[in-house]
Amino acid sequence: MKKLFILLIVITDFSFAQTTDKLSLKEAISIGLQNNVALGQAKNNLVATNFSKTNSLLQLTPSFNIQGSAGRNDGNTFIPQEGRVVNGVVDFVNATLNAEMPLFNGFNNVNTYLQNDKRNDAQINLVLRTEQDVIRNVSNQYLQCLVDQQLLTIQQKTLETQIQTYNQIKEQVVAGSRAEVDLYNQEFQVKNNEVLLIRAKNRLTNSKILLAAQLQIDPTINFELEEPAWDINLKDAELSDIEALKAIAIESRKDLAQAKANERASELGYKAARGTYFPNIVLFANYGSRYNYDLGSSVNRSFDNQFLKDNTQLTYGASFNIPIFGGFRTRSTTVRNKMDYENAKLTSKANLNTVKSDVLQAYQNYLDAKSNFEATQAQLKSGELTYLLEKDRYELGASDIVALTLATQNYIRAQNEAANARYTLMFQHILLNYATGTLKFEDIP
């Protein structure tokens, strides 16, 4: 009985593992956004840059610390409140509260804070652009899976049709109305389509494995893909003005915003480095006290009298540091920061040209994909009519097996190209939004 119970559990677990889950495009993108390593690292770095921004802001405010010590001195000890030196064992306690306020340092702290603020802005834009990268990559692989899934369906239907044709020809050969060579030719077509079906299954399996790798999920999980309910002509009205698309991209592209923020951060870093040429002035205040206990004396004043009254000391004022010569360390840092700034300007300018090129390319690719889709639809309709006509002619004996085979192959090719063109046009919408920087998870149907 126990063995039977264990067997039932194993069968149940196996059946559950074999269940097929439905996976929509939006669900796939959501999983990708949650599991993507690059996006997770960018978000972690955002936490660090945000903390650096807060830290540099607090450097503009006063700083406080308490210093103190407690111990025993065996030997000569100076007793300040009595003005004498005691040779013996003396216990002591002292504490000091220190405060500093930067008054002027060539605006180094101010520029450092502004620099970290811009670095944080750059990291925010990197996170947003990385999210768009994930959406684009997952969508691309998902639609590739849909293409392979559609081609598999076409191949399955084609094989069924070829088998039906084979059975019809076989009956006609037996009846003597067809030559036996037609049966051999059709058998070859059936075997060939069986091989193509196997290849289509393998291609779909490999595409799903790549999708699972992008989503960072177990590749052994069996899932089916849902067909996106998209209107592929949805945004044609917005595609008439290429200059408007470029303006949107310049305003919306997060990688361009990141480059500009890095350029500004580098400029502020250069200014902060130049600030070290100027004198550094700091306001300070120190307040402390001390308590001594002479173990060799019979008369020791109380802790309250010493620590809270007699031994208190307040020191305040301003200190300054004027740099004169430091082995060109300051100059070296300043030159290096200036070159970083110059390089950041070059990067920002190059990114601007890249954005314009991406928009033009995505726009042209969309127009090409739209034209190709319309052409393949007409080709599909023509191929279907030709196939049906040739099939009827063959069944009436007005055509031969070669013409039917050619018409069948052309029809299959037209179906494959139409499926590819449809999903390519779908993806071009995503690529166009990606190029203009307006791609959002919320906009995915």
- For range 190-202, the mean pLDDT: 93
| Token pair 């691309």 in the structure block, residue | 140
Q: How far is CA 272 from the centre of its chain?
A: 31
Question: What percent of the chain shows pLDDT beyond 90?
Answer: 40
pLDDT digits (tens, 9 = 90+) for 350-374: 999 999 999 999 999 888 888 888 8
Range list of H helices, 278-328: 303-305
Task: Say whether pLDDT at 190 is over 50.
Answer: yes
- For range 19-27, the mean pLDDT: 79
CATH class (in words) of the domain with range 63-103+280-322: mainly beta
Q: Lowest mean pLDDT: which of 8-17, 278-287, 308-317, 403-412?
A: 8-17
pLDDT of residue 407: 83
pLDDT digits (tens, 9 = 90+) for 104-155: 888 889 999 999 999 999 999 999 999 999 999 999 999 889 888 888 988 8
Task: Say whether pLDDT at 238 is over 60.
Answer: no
Domain boundaries defined on the chain: 20-61+105-278+329-443, 63-103+280-322
Coil, strand or helix: which one is 78?
strand
pLDDT of residue 56: 92
- For range 229-257, the mean pLDDT: 77
Domain 20-61+105-278+329-443 falls under CATH 2.40.100.10: no
pLDDT of residue 17: 40
pLDDT of residue 14: 36
From residue 320, give the alpha-carbon distance in Å to each of 37, 58, 102, 106, 396: 48, 21, 10, 12, 107
Task: Say whether pLDDT at 273 is over 80.
Answer: yes
- For range 197-205, the mean pLDDT: 94
Q: Lowest mean pLDDT: which of 3-7, 47-51, 90-94, 293-297?
A: 3-7
Q: How confident is the model at residue 231 (pLDDT cuts 50, 70, 90)?
A: low
Task: Say whether pLDDT at 16 is over 60.
Answer: no
Backbone phi, then psi, for 69, in 5-degree steps? -155, 160
Q: How many residues does the chain have?
A: 445
Count of CA atoms in the C-beta half-sphere (13 A) of 287: 4
- The β-bridge partners of 21 are 223
Q: How confident is the model at residue 11 (pLDDT cuts 50, 70, 90)?
A: very low
Neighbours of 305 (CB within 10 A): 13
Contact (Cβ atoms closer than 8 angstroms) between residue 160 and residue 229: no
Q: For the whole prediction, is pTM greater than 0.85?
A: no
pLDDT of residue 124: 96
Asked if 20-61+105-278+329-443 and 63-103+280-322 have one fold, the answer is no
Mean of the per-residue pLDDT values for the chain?
A: 85
Task: Say whether pLDDT at 298 is over 60.
Answer: yes
Task: Say whether pLDDT at 1 is over 60.
Answer: no
Joined together, the tokens standing for residue 42 give: 């960018």
| Token pair 């019979």 in the structure block, residue | 298
pLDDT of residue 301: 81
Joined together, the tokens standing for residue 257 give: 């915003």
Q: How far apart are CA 257 and CA 263, in angstroms?
A: 10
Q: How confident is the model at residue 326 (pLDDT cuts 50, 70, 90)?
A: confident
pLDDT of residue 239: 59
Task: Say whether pLDDT at 29 is over 80.
Answer: yes
pLDDT of residue 367: 87
pLDDT of residue 70: 93
From residue 58, give the alpha-carbon distance in Å to each of 110, 115, 387, 443: 10, 14, 77, 40
Q: Which residues contact 142 (CB under 8 A, 6 or more apart)?
A: 25, 28, 29, 211, 225
